[in-house]
């Protein structure tokens, strides 16, 4: 016995195990295994872990089987999934190794230590070794186990001896022989509980050194051979974890499902497996499935911190799936758990973000006021940015600026600071802050991202336009037209550049800017306006052909007639441009199209005017009058005077004195200074009225000339016409003035005789009998015979009658009847004589005169009945 013990102790284990039944097998040492490429590429722990997934612990950290690893802190509000880590907070607090060790102790049955007295040498030797093992005398147990294994190669308990031998090596820190012994046990025995334990030991060591590729099948063998439910579920869980970590995630999902389905009441890994399944579903974009997993964990998980994580995750997924009400409730439930760590804070932030995305800005501010003191420096910048933006959305711009400034002051290097700097500029723009331009320059000095820099320049350009600094604004807009801004913004910049250049009369530059816009962005929302503006610029440059081409493009592009203001403007301006080209026929046709499509157009008066103008110039006076009248009716301020003279002329040509008289009235409005402009029209109207015996009209319109600076342009005949009309109107003073002007302008005896007759009549009416007599005598002397002489004698009779000397008056009347035989004058003279005799009381002579009148002129109708 002693000799055999000495021999086992003296021979190295590797030599001993190479002989006998084990000689055919090579004992493998625990050589390092390279980390699989899939594992090497996986991220290690870092400062930011998306969505608070578990992190991979640093190298050298204690085994996951010895302690739990808490996930790293979360900085982002909505992180994305990453490959799983070796451990999560959902895993049990009890150490797997302690479970394994406890089962090892149970495996040493109470009778095993007394086997030395059983009479069986194998049992006796194994009992000695086990006794030393139980008393933790591992250095002494090793040679005893080696002796047993060397001598009793066929004994049924070799598996337990090999396992405890490996354990002894491990307890003494002899890792290489321990690992080789575990492997030898697995290779030699193949199955059984001790094989499962050995596989578990090898698996945990491979897991600790992150050799998940080696650990996965070992955990699988441990699961297949273990009997204790705790060991089986632990091995199954870590098998799944290893498969996940080496990228075999589909296989891992099936194994995790086995863990979840385990009926073991003491299954401590159900929550951890469910959590991993939820993250795998999320990684595969199976959001509804992931949500269901997180929802279940949020309700059923053992640990509050796991429920908090699951509820927060469920809220984030519900939000992504547009289930905002459910998401909000998940976040509220997570906050209500009040767990230590990050998940309460993440839930608070996500709840605020949900409120912000739902435009419930007041609720964001309320949430901030309740939780401000609990925010960490990692999350506070994000919250401050949301709060400032909420103030801005609510129109509380001073408060928004205050919070933006606070964020920039306390966290100038935070990622949110860059956004805050830009949003602050937007707020300054809304408030029309006069310092926005230097603020933009200061922002650009911070070297922001190009897209933000371009947007800031856009704000600056808009401000320069508001400050009427069009030249500087145009330069910025031209630069931004080639910037990183989206096409819609670049198109806006081209338009604004054209507008700004047009304001400083840089017509070629403005045309170029609009041309770039039209050619590069043909579907731009304001392309029609750009075409109109370019057309007007062409028009101002007298490039009428290009202008008409743009106008036509607008007209064609605007679809149905009468539907858009752009088409209306294009028709109007096209008509005006055709007028500039002297194409009056097409001009009139275009204006008629405008009036037909847009009868209430603001340009209707202008269109009517030019239609009438063209007809007038073509001497189509009847066609001109309607449009000209309509133009004045629609816009008297601009067209009353312009159309009056043309309408006056049209009425003269068309022999419409009454209409012509109205045009004179409308034009002069009682202002004698304006009579000179329409003097010819007044003369024509007066003459027409005189011919029609409308003496009132004649007196009015010829009188306008007589009272104006144009009186010197009246000829003698017109003065006489005016004088006679004044007499008819009993305007004797005006008549005397007019006839005297006539007499001053004529020298012919007959003409002067007419003048003196008219003057005498006017003087008679003015009760100037002596002057009237002299005028009548002048006429008689100038015309000793004839009609004018007869008229003079009649005038003298009228003068005598006005004095009451009816007898003398009757004799003057009879002298005309005696001296002249005229069908008009003679009966009139007899009638006057008859009346004068009557008034003189000379009835006999009156009767004789009446009898003569009736005999000589039986058809004459007397002015009044004879007495």
Integer angstrom CA distances of residue 498 from 506, 509, 533, 549, 552 = 9, 7, 9, 19, 21
Q: How far apart are CA 499 and CA 478, in angstroms?
A: 11
What pLDDT does 94 receive?
A: 55
CA dihedral (647, 648, 652, 654) in degrees, to 10, reads: 20
Residue 119 has a CB neighbour count (10 Å cut-off) of 8
Alpha helices per DSSP H over 524-635: 527-540, 544-557, 565-580, 584-597, 604-617, 621-634
The answer to whether 195 and 189 are in contact (CB under 8 A) is: yes
Residue intervals of the chain classified under CATH 1.25.40.10 are: 94-218, 747-867
For the structural domain made of 747-867, what CATH number should be given?
A: 1.25.40.10
Residue with tokens 């550049």: 497
Region class of 841: left (phi > 0), else alpha (psi between -120 and 50), else beta:
left
Q: Where is pLDDT greater, at 655 or 864? A: 655
What pLDDT is recorded for position 86?
A: 52
Q: Is the model's pLDDT at 598 over the cut of 50?
A: yes
Q: What is the mean pLDDT of residues 29-48?
A: 30
The pLDDT tens digits for 781-805 are 999 988 999 999 999 999 999 999 9
**Burial of residue 497 (number of CB atoms within 10 Å: 0-12, 13-18, 19+):** buried
How far apart CA 212 and CA 245 sit, in angstroms, is 7
Distance CA 12, CA 146 (A): 10
Burial 97-112 (b: 16+ CB within 10 A, else e): eebbeebbeebeeeeb
Average pLDDT rounded to a whole number, residues 81-104 = 55
For 140, residues 6+ apart whose C-beta sits below 8 A from its C-beta are 132
* pLDDT tens per residue across span 249-265: 999 999 999 999 987 67
Contact 187, 171 (CB under 8 A): no
For 78, counting Cβ atoms within 10 Å of its Cβ (0-12 exposed, 13-18 middle, 19+ buried), the class is middle
User: pLDDT tens digits for 418-444?
Assistant: 899 999 999 999 999 999 999 999 999
| pLDDT for residue 497 is more than 60 | yes
Q: Whole-angstrom Cα distance, residue 514 to residue 530?
A: 6
| Dihedral sign computed on CA atoms, order 52, 58, 64, 69 | negative
Both tokens of 322, joined, read 């547009």
- Give per-residue pLDDT as tens, 712-739: 888 999 999 999 999 999 999 999 999 9
Q: Which of 120-129, 163-172, 370-379 has the lowest mean pLDDT?
A: 370-379
What pLDDT digit, counting tens, does each position of 274-289 carry? Answer: 999 999 999 999 999 9
User: Is the pLDDT reported for residue 669 higher than 50?
Assistant: yes
Q: Does residue 671 register a pLDDT over 90?
A: no
Least confident of 80-84, 125-129, 559-563: 80-84
Domain 94-218 has CATH 3.10.310.10: no
Distances (CA, A) of 560 to 275, 286, 624: 63, 51, 30
CA–CA gap between residue 647 and residue 630 (Å, rounded): 12
Q: Report the share of the chain in percent with pLDDT over 90.
A: 67
Confidence of residue 864 (pLDDT cuts 50, 70, 90): low
User: Is 673 a residue whose pLDDT tops 90?
Assistant: no
Residue 133: both structure tokens together: 């093992």
75/380 Cα distance (integer angstroms): 10
Q: What is the mean pLDDT of residues 657-679?
A: 89
pLDDT tens-place string over residues 113-130: 444 455 799 999 999 999
CA nearest to 75, candidates 100, 38, 47, 115: 47
Quick check: 148 pLDDT over 90? yes
| Helix orientation angle between 621-634 and 604-617, rounded to the nearest 10 degrees | 160
pLDDT of 87: 62
pLDDT band at 483 (very low <50, low <70, confident <90, very high): confident
Tell me the pLDDT of the chain averaged across its residues: 84
pLDDT of residue 819: 86
Confidence (pLDDT) at 861:
86
Q: How confident is the model at residue 588 (pLDDT cuts 50, 70, 90)?
A: very high
564 falls in which pLDDT band (50, 70, 90)? confident
Q: Tell me the helix, strand and coil percentages in the chain, rounded to 5.
A: 75, 0, 25
Question: What confidence score (pLDDT) does residue 263 get?
Answer: 78
Contact, 598 vs 570, CB < 8 A? no
Q: What is the pLDDT of residues 743-783, one digit of tens each?
A: 999 999 999 999 999 999 999 999 999 999 999 999 999 99
Confidence of residue 47 (pLDDT cuts 50, 70, 90): very low
pLDDT at 223: 94
Query: How many Å apart are CA 355 and CA 359, to the nearest integer?
Result: 6
Give the span between the Cα atoms of 651 and 664, in whole angstroms: 11
Runs of H (alpha helix) within 431-486: 436-445, 450-466, 470-480
Residues with Cβ within 8 Å of residue 767, at least 6 apart in sequence: 802
Q: Is 95's pLDDT higher than 60?
A: no
Q: What is the DSSP string of 312-327?
A: HHHHHHHHHTT-HHHH
Q: Give the separation between CA 726 and CA 203, rounded to whole angstroms.
A: 136
Q: Is the dihedral of CA 852, 858, 864, 866 positive or negative?
A: positive
Tens digits of residue pLDDT in 277-328: 999 999 999 999 999 999 999 999 899 999 999 999 999 999 889 998 999 8
Are 417 and 381 in contact by the 8 Å Cβ rule? The answer is yes
Asked whether the beta carbons of 587 and 610 are under 8 A apart, the reply is yes
More confident call, 53 vs 370: 370
Is-contact 234 242, C-beta < 8 A? no
530, 517 in Cβ contact below 8 A? yes
Task: List, for residues 180-194, the tens digit of each pLDDT value.
Answer: 999 999 999 999 999
Note the pLDDT of residue 93: 67
């Amino acid at each position: 016995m002693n000799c055999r013990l000495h021999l086992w102790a003296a021979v190295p284990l590797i030599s001993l195990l190479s002989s006998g039944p084990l000689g055919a097998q090579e004992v493998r040492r625990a050589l390092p295994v390279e980390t699989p490429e899939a594992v090497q590429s996986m991220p290690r722990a870092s400062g930011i872990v998306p969505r608070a997934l578990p992190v991979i612990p640093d190298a050298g950290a204690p085994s996951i089987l010895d302690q739990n690893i808490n996930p790293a802190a979360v900085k982002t509000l909505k992180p994305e999934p990453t490959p799983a880590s070796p451990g999560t907070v959902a895993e049990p607090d009890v150490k797997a190794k302690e479970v394994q060790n406890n089962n090892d102790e149970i495996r040493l049955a109470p009778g095993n230590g007394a086997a030395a007295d059983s009479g069986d040498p194998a049992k006796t030797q194994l009992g000695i070794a086990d006794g030393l093992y139980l008393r933790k005398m591992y250095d002494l147990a090793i040679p005893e186990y080696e002796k047993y294994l060397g001598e009793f190669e066929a004994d049924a308990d070799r598996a337990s001896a090999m396992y405890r031998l490996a354990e002894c090596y491990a307890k003494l820190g002899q890792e290489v022989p321990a690992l080789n012994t575990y492997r030898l046990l697995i290779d030699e025995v193949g199955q059984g509980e001790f094989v499962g334990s050995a596989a578990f030991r090898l698996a945990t060591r491979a897991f600790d050194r992150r050799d998940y590729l080696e650990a996965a099948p070992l955990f699988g063998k441990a699961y297949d051979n273990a009997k204790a439910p705790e060991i089986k579920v632990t091995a199954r869980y870590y098998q799944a974890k290893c498969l996940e970590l080496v990228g075999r995630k589909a296989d891992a999902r099936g194994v995790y499902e086995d863990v979840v389905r385990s009926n073991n009441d003491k299954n401590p890994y159900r929550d951890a497996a469910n959590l991993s399944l939820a993250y795998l579903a999320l990684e595969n974009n199976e959001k509804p499935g992931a949500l269901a997993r997180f929802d279940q964990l949020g309700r059923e998980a053992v640990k509050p911190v796991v429920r908090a994580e699951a509820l927060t995750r469920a809220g984030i997924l519900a939000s992504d799936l547009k289930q905002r009400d459910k998401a909000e409730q998940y976040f509220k439930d997570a906050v209500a758990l009040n767990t230590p760590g990050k998940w309460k804070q993440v839930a608070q932030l996500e709840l605020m973000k949900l409120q912000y995305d739902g435009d419930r800005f007041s609720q964001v501010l309320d949430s901030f006021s309740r939780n401000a003191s609990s925010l960490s420096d990692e999350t506070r910048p994000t919250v401050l940015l949301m709060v400032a933006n909420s103030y801005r959305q609510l129109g509380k711009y001073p408060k928004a600026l205050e919070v933006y400034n606070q964020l920039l002051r306390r966290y100038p290097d935070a990622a949110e600071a860059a956004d805050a700097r830009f949003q602050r500029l937007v707020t300054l723009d809304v408030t029309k802050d006069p310092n926005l331009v230097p603020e933009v320059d200061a922002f650009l000095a911070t070297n922001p991202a190009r897209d933000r820099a371009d947007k800031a320049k856009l704000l600056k350009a808009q401000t320069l336009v508001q400050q009427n600094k069009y030249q500087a604004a145009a330069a910025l807009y031209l630069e931004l037209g080639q910037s990183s801004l989206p096409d819609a913004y670049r198109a806006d910049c081209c338009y604004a550049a054209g507008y700004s250049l047009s304001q400083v009369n840089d017509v070629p530059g403005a045309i170029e800017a609009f041309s770039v816009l039209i050619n590069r962005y043909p579907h731009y929302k304001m392309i029609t306006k750009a075409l109109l503006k370019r057309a007007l610029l062409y028009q101002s440059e007298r490039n009428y052909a290009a202008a008409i081409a743009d106008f036509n493009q607008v007209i064609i592009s605007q679809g149905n007639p009468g539907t858009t203001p752009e088409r209306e403007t294009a028709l109007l301006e096209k008509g005006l441009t055709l007028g500039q080209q002297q194409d009056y026929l097409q001009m009139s046709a275009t204006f008629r199209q405008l009036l037909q499509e847009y009868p209430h157009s603001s340009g209707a008066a202008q269109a009517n005017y030019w239609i009438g103008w063209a007809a007038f110039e073509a001497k189509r006076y009847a066609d001109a009058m309607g449009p000209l009248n309509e133009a004045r009716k629609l816009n008297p301020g601009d067209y009353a005077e312009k159309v009056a003279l043309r309408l006056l002329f049209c009425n003269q040509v068309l022999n419409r004195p009454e209409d012509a008289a109205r045009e004179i009235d409308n034009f002069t409005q009682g202002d004698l200074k304006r009579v000179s402009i329409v003097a010819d029209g007044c003369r024509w109207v007066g003459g027409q009225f005189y011919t029609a015996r409308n003496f009132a009209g004649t007196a009015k319109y010829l009188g306008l000339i007589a009272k104006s600076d144009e009186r010197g342009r009246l000829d003698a005949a017109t003065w006489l016409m005016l004088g006679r009309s004044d007499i008819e109107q009993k305007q004797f003073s005006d008549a005397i003035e007019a006839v005297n002007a006539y007499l001053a302008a004529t020298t012919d005896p007959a003409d002067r005789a007419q003048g003196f007759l008219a003057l005498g009549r006017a003087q008679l009416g003015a009760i100037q009998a002596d002057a009237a007599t002299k005028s009548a005598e002048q006429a008689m002397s100038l015309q000793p015979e004839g009609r004018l002489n007869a008229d003079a004698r009649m005038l003298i009779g009228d003068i005598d009658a006005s004095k009451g000397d009816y007898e003398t008056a009757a004799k003057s009347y009879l002298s005309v009847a005696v001296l002249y035989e005229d069908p008009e004058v003679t009966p009139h003279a007899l009638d006057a004589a008859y009346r004068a005799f009557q008034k003189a009381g000379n009835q006999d002579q009156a009767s004789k005169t009446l009898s003569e009148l009736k005999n000589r002129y039986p058809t004459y109708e007397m002015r009044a009945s004879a007495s």
